[in-house]
Structure 1
Amino acid sequence: MTFPTQGQSITFRKTLSVAEQGFFTGISGNLGGLYVDRTKAKAQGLADMAVFELAAGALFTTALARLAGPEWRISEISFRFLRPMVLAETLAATATVTEVGESLAFTLTGTAGDETVIEGAARMARVCADV
């Protein structure tokens, strides 16, 4: 088993699309106007429909999995969304290792262009003691 090293980071980038928004609507059942109705979103001052926050946050799971590997699972995760993201924005989801031991700790930073739009933290635990 290999461990990530403190300070190591990985960034996963993805442009969030209408199709993915539709999939998440189906999974979550969330029909909030900001997320599914362009007219309502624009009336609230957004350029397009807002991206589901948890769909954006899910991009961090890719970075975490790539850093930690298959022996680890997410045991804690938290996000702070600094502003709404809208469809067609590209999110760069960066996970950085801050602690290595019996568990792994990470800071999470999401940027759209040069702007930080998401901040967070995560902790990963071993899947089982035998791994």
Structure 2
Amino acid sequence: MQNTTPLQVGATMSFRKTMTVAEQAFFTGISGNLATMHVDAAAARDAGFANMLSFEMAVLALSSTCLNRLAGKAWRIGKLDLSFDAPVVVGSTIEAIATVTEVTSASIDFEIRCLIDSEDGGKQVIGGTAAMLPLLG
């Protein structure tokens, strides 16, 4: 689904997904990241977590769905300014939320939030801003 109407400040979209073990394995292969807490469930449990930790960038990737669907096919991610506020355990459900904060012909600016357990009020695990830029320009 691509946006076909002009964006307005305040437009919001969310995307909700559970971070799975299979996706963790795929991201390990894609990134080459073999950080112990991300690939060794026993080590993560020894450190006090219920399971391996999801890759921060994999969690953040959920927000790209919101950015792309709001901005449309003629835009790409041009800038991110983020804080990674808390770890996410594999098996957790995350809700990514993007809200339009400014629209010009040169960029579309967004607030980004990723929440864990959003149905119970949600705890922010990633927060910040993004700018989408035209593909050609």
How far residue 78 of structure 1 moved from its aligned partner, in angstroms, is 2.7
Show the counterpart of 2:87. Answer: 84
Look up the equivalent residue of 1:98 and give its one-letter code.
Answer: T
2:126 is the alignment partner of 1:118: yes
Show the counterpart of 1:109. Answer: 113
Look up the equivalent residue of 1:120 and give its one-letter code.
Answer: G
Show the counterpart of 2:30. Answer: 27
Query: Aligned equivalents of 1:46 and 1:16: distance in 2?
Result: 15
2:83 is the alignment partner of 1:75: no
Query: Aligned equivalents of 1:45 and 1:8: distance in 2?
Result: 39
How far residue 42 of structure 1 moved from its aligned partner, in angstroms, is 1.2
Q: Following superposition of structure 1 onto structure 2, how do residues 7-86 of structure 1 map, counting pairs within 5 Å?
A: 7-86=10-89
2:131 is the alignment partner of 1:128: no
Q: Is the 8 A contact 1:57 1:79 kept in 2?
A: no
Q: Is the 8 A contact 1:3 1:100 kept in 2?
A: no
Query: Aligned equivalents of 1:73 and 1:67: distance in 2?
Result: 11
Look up the equivalent residue of 2:133 and give its one-letter code.
Answer: A
Show the counterpart of 2:99. Answer: 96
2:11 is the alignment partner of 1:3: no
Provide the aligned length of Structure 1 versus Structure 2.
129
Gaps of 5+ in 2: none
What stretches of structure 1 move > 4 A for 4+ residues in a row? none
**Matched residues, percent identical?**
44
Look up the equivalent residue of 1:24 and give its one-letter code.
Answer: F
TM-score (norm 1): 0.94
**Alignment partner of 1:128: what SS?**
coil
TM-score (norm 2): 0.90
Look up the equivalent residue of 2:131 and give its one-letter code.
Answer: R
RMSD: 1.1
Look up the equivalent residue of 2:60 and give its one-letter code.
Answer: G
**Alignment partner of 1:60: what SS?**
helix
